[in-house]
Structure 1
Amino acid sequence: MEISSLQKARYEYQPKLPAALDSAISDIRVELGDPTESVADQDQVKSLFPHSYGAPIAVFASGKGKTSQNPLRVGVILSGGQAPGGHNVITGLYDGLKKANSQSNLVGFLGGPSGLMDNDFIVFDDAKIDAFRNTGGFDIIGSGRTKIETDEQFAAALNTAKEQKLDAVVVIGGDDSNTNAALLAEYFKDNGTDIQVIGVPKTIDGDLKNEYIETSFGFDTAVKTYSELIGNIMRDANSAKKYWHFIKLMGRSASHIALEAALQTHPNVAIISEEVAEKKKSLNQIVEEIANVVRHRSDNGENFGIALIPEGLIEFIPEMKTLISELNDLLAHDEKYFATLKSFEDQAEFAVSKLSDHSAKVFSSLPRGIRQQLLLDRDPHGNVQVSLIDTEKLLIEMVGELLAQWKAQGNFSGSFKALAHFFGYEGRCAFPSNFDADYTYSLGYTAFLLIANGLTGYLSSVRNLDKPASEWVAGGIPLTMMMNMEQRHGKMKPVIRKALVELDGAPFKEFSSKRDDWAKNTRYFFPGAIQYYGPAEVCDQPTITLKLERSGK
């Protein structure tokens, strides 16, 4: 494989570690706190995790410890969608293992959790690891979205772990993947094995976080990548002065990416899904709000603008949420019959006949293209694939229609030409920022330390992230601590609770205090490309969201 000059240079970058970890293995000790409990549904979660529930928070500190330096054989899995920095989690884990004992081995399971069940693997060596240091992507071993759910799948995973003589398995993934890691840790214990399971928090969506997981890795790089692109479009819009750009941003369950991108670039409109749900805004209300911004800017001679749209918005609009829920249930219940309907007209007619009167009216009022997208195949969890729904195009069409009505009534005299964009895959495999390169390497190294100290059912944690890396605090939190019970496929199941944008939190308050000004005036901010070399204030800064959350301002 040919490599760029930047990739060659990034191979030489040495990720920074917390001071407590940047020493001899024998000089790192673990401090265990008080017993913990889940964020909700404590009795139910405890009953499902009798072996791992209530474990204490772990923190690594300088000092003589009992970290094992015996040879270990550890397996690692990349699970779910890609996120910048995944390779550095693996290199940090590998380096920790080898520093403690050169005879230790790291086994990479190919293609995600299915690789563990099928015993499809490689054993890492220095050459393989060195070729992927500080690079984007998950191509070192590939990823997958297979979930370990059935008794047969859990048994297959255990058989592979035994056949490989593994001491531990590390699962690098988001909330669903780490819920799976917790279940796997409990299953191993329940079957009398000492094989440990450690999770690592990954998702560019930013919705896997709490007091101890201040951000999930990849969010920093992805949102900075999107913000560079948004800034480029802003410069173009302000140059041509004739287009509105509606930009949909990845993030299904939470609007963290849209919020951070807004803080970084100052768009004229930025919709936050959680606020839409809180205020029970209808689709027509959202359209009218955008149209009013367009009209106001047009009155000032500015027939251009930028609107940021979170990918999952449509599921937060009350009438659309109800419609999608009914469609999900309908398509799950009548899946076989629905598959026999070959034309969209037949599918739509069947759907309308089964929906409630209100949802049928909402469905029928939508543009044909959106109705078709709402009836597409569901994801593995039985949910509508929101990334395939052109919400940005729906808003463009509806805003355009409303402005045309206003123009006919003499209430709008400007022009409205709009272009649609979707930024998602562009950010998932970018070269990790220095922050993400350091953070992920530290997470991988911490995962090794959790294993070497005999812990299982933990999520690798690195905190104090608004400070220089030397001041970061490494440790682990019990996966059960992040859980509650939610309904999935008609059954109550333990899951890690997603972290949505908090409307009383510092990042949203900062955005809310500025958005009226940004709507009326052109205050575009151009963050530029991610920088890897130069002063720390240019190269090593975390996101605005993280700094505001940590400062509490």
Structure 2
Amino acid sequence: MEKSALQIARAAYQPKLPRGLKGAVKAVEGAATQSVDNQEEIKALFPNTYGMPLVEFVPGEEKSYEPMNVGIILSGGQAPGGHNVITGLFDAVKRLNPANRLYGFILGPGGLVDHNYMELTKEIVDEYRNTGGFDMIGSGRTKLEKVEQFEKGLEIIRELGIKAIVIIGGDDSNTNACVLAEYYAAKNYGVQVIGCPKTIDGDLKNDQIETSFGFDTACKTYSELIGNIERDCNSARKYWHFIKVMGRSASHIALECALQTQPNICLVSEEIEEKAMSLDDIVAYIANAVAVRAADGNNFGTVVIPEGVIEFIPAIKKLIAQLNDVLALPEAKNISRDEQVDFAKSHLTAENLAVFNSLPEGVARQLALDRDPHGNVQVSLIETEKLLSEMVAKKLDAMKAEGKFVGKFAAQHHFFGYEGRCAAPSNFDADYCYALGTSAAQLIAAGKTGYMAIVKNTTAPADEWKAGGVPITMMMNMEKRNGEMKPVIRKALVELDGKPFKTFAAQRDRWARETAYVYPGPIQYWGPTEVCDQPTKTLALEQSK
């Protein structure tokens, strides 16, 4: 594999570890835990992995460990730092006993079921240190939830002599990890299952998980791009840029990027829901800001939009909830796509049907058709940025006719998704992920199962971070999925009384009117001359002798 100068320099970076994970490690158990809600139901579903104590790792005394083999799975969408979880796990299991082996299951959880795997050797692992992406072993979205899958996975686990499986994923993947841990524990199979918190969306966090990995890098990457657009916007002075960013179920990315770049407008889905805003309310809010800036002679601006905003508009949220139930009906499984919209409409309440019919045709069809593997609307496919800019343009035309808008409005559209998912991890994510992988190894060594590796106190220097594990059941509650109540890890939404949102809210009126843009610049704007001072390849080739 040919490497860039950046990759070569980055490979030499040695991630920092918390004091408790350096050298010999001791696991200290804390108080017993309970789930965040629905305690009786969760306890009944997970009798073998419920109520376990929190674990923290502190410096301990050297001891010897029997050889063990470990399997690792990347699950769901990519997030910067995934490779460092693997390298951290690899280095830690080798330190525990050099005879230990690590096996990667190819293309996600499906690799476990299909017995598709590879042994991860030092030569392989060294190629991927501090790199973005999940390409070392690939990822997938197969859900581990059926007994046949668990038993099929057990066959290869037994064949390879695997003691524990580490699943790196988001809330759904870690819910599945908990179900798998419970099944193997109930059957007394002696197979441990450990999770790691991954999602760039930032919605896998709580009292124990301060942040999910990849969020730091993704926000820096998107903020660099938003800053570039703001600079262009302030230079050309003729476009309103509508920028959609990742974040289906929460607005953490949009809010963080707004704090880093100070756009004119940033929508926060959770606030829209709290205020029971309609689609028209949102359009009016943006149009009024455009009009105010136009009156000042500024016919340009930036609007940051979380990709899931449409799901948070209360009337549309109610519609989607009923659509999800309707499309989960047995009779819905046997109808063609062409019939699906009419089928959905025929089952809607009068109130929801009115909302459905009020939407632009393309958006309405989207809501009634495509679903992801978890049964959710695929909101990332809805071009919310275009929908909003078109509706704002219509609103401004009406305002112009009434003499309330004197200016020009022209829009540009952007969606930042894939641009951030596989970026080279920031120093924070490189360190954080390496520590998570190391924690996962120590949880296995301590005989734990049904735990998620965690690292806390992350605003302090890495040496002062606190590493450990939290029982996955502690983070669970019951929610409706595909028409049924299921145990899931509760998603973390933006807290409107939290400091990040309050800081944003205190400044946004000024940002809306003024041009207060901040240009963060590239996250890799650091380091050695051979990285930072490279000429273009064109120039180098043109001038080569």
Provide TM-score, normalisation by structure 1: 0.93
| CA 1:351–1:43: 2 relative to 1, 3 Å | closer
| Equivalent residue number for residue 31 of structure 2 | 34
In the alignment, structure 1 residue 484 sits paired with structure 2 residue 477: yes
Instruction: Tell me how far 1:155 sits from its aligned partner.
Output: 1.5
- Output the aligned Cα RMSD: 1.6
SS of the residue 1:443 aligns to: helix
Q: Number of paired residues?
A: 528
Mapped partners of 1:236, 1:330: distance in 2 = 46
Instruction: Tell me how far 1:377 sits from its aligned partner.
Output: 2.2
| CA 1:348–1:50: 2 relative to 1, 3 Å | closer
In the alignment, structure 1 residue 367 sits paired with structure 2 residue 360: yes
Aligned equivalent of 2:381, options 377, 388, 392: 388
Q: Which runs of 4+ in 1 moved over 4 A?
A: 346-351
In the alignment, structure 1 residue 76 sits paired with structure 2 residue 72: yes
Instruction: Tell me how far 1:29 sits from its aligned partner.
Output: 1.1
Letter in 1 for 2:446: N
In the alignment, structure 1 residue 16 sits paired with structure 2 residue 16: yes
Indicate the larger mover: 524-533 or 260-269: 524-533
Instruction: Tell me how far 1:81 sits from its aligned partner.
Output: 0.5
Aligned equivalent of 1:260, options 256, 259, 282: 256
Aligned equivalent of 1:530, options 523, 530, 536: 523
Mapped partners of 2:476, 2:342: distance in 1 = 41
| Equivalent residue number for residue 533 of structure 2 | none
* Contact map agreement 1:485 1:492 (CA 8 A) in 2: yes
| Equivalent residue number for residue 413 of structure 1 | 406
**Residues 315-354 of structure 1 aligned to structure 2 (within 5 Å):** 315-333=311-329, 334-336=331-333, 338-339=335-336, 341=338, 348-354=341-347
Instruction: Tell me how far 1:306 sits from its aligned partner.
Output: 0.5
* Contact map agreement 1:30 1:65 (CA 8 A) in 2: no
Mapped partners of 1:451, 1:420: distance in 2 = 47
| Equivalent residue number for residue 550 of structure 1 | none
Deviation string, structure 1 residues 456-495 (Cα, Å, up to 9, x no partner) = 1110011110011111111111111111111222222111
Letter in 1 for 2:17: L
Indicate the larger mover: 373-382 or 432-441: 373-382
Mapped partners of 2:381, 2:71: distance in 1 = 34
In the alignment, structure 1 residue 251 sits paired with structure 2 residue 247: yes
* Contact map agreement 1:331 1:338 (CA 8 A) in 2: no
Mapped partners of 1:441, 1:532: distance in 2 = 22
Aligned equivalent of 1:445, options 427, 434, 438: 438
Deviation string, structure 1 residues 445-465 (Cα, Å, up to 9, x no partner) = 111011111111110011110
| Equivalent residue number for residue 203 of structure 1 | 199
> Unaligned 5+ residue runs, structure 2?
529-545
Instruction: Tell me how far 1:351 sits from its aligned partner.
Output: 4.2
Mapped partners of 2:77, 2:118: distance in 1 = 21
* Contact map agreement 1:29 1:65 (CA 8 A) in 2: no
Instruction: Tell me how far 1:534 sits from its aligned partner.
Output: 5.3
* Contact map agreement 2:18 2:466 (CA 8 A) in 1: yes
Percentage identity across paired residues of the two chains: 61
Mapped partners of 2:97, 2:49: distance in 1 = 28
Mapped partners of 1:189, 1:159: distance in 2 = 16
Aligned equivalent of 2:83, options 84, 87, 98: 87
| CA 1:142–1:481: 2 relative to 1, 3 Å | same
Instruction: Tell me how far 1:359 sits from its aligned partner.
Output: 2.4
| Equivalent residue number for residue 538 of structure 1 | none
| Equivalent residue number for residue 539 of structure 2 | none
Mapped partners of 2:513, 2:221: distance in 1 = 26
SS of the residue 1:75 aligns to: strand
Aligned equivalent of 2:513, options 510, 520, 537: 520
Mapped partners of 2:452, 2:501: distance in 1 = 27
SS of the residue 1:59 aligns to: strand
Instruction: Tell me how far 1:31 sits from its aligned partner.
Output: 0.8
> Unaligned 5+ residue runs, structure 1?
536-553
* Contact map agreement 1:38 1:45 (CA 8 A) in 2: yes
* Contact map agreement 1:84 1:222 (CA 8 A) in 2: yes
SS of the residue 1:495 aligns to: strand
* Contact map agreement 1:462 1:474 (CA 8 A) in 2: yes
| Equivalent residue number for residue 124 of structure 1 | 120
Aligned equivalent of 2:55, options 32, 54, 58: 58
SS of the residue 1:168 aligns to: strand
| Equivalent residue number for residue 358 of structure 1 | 351
Letter in 2 for 1:310: P
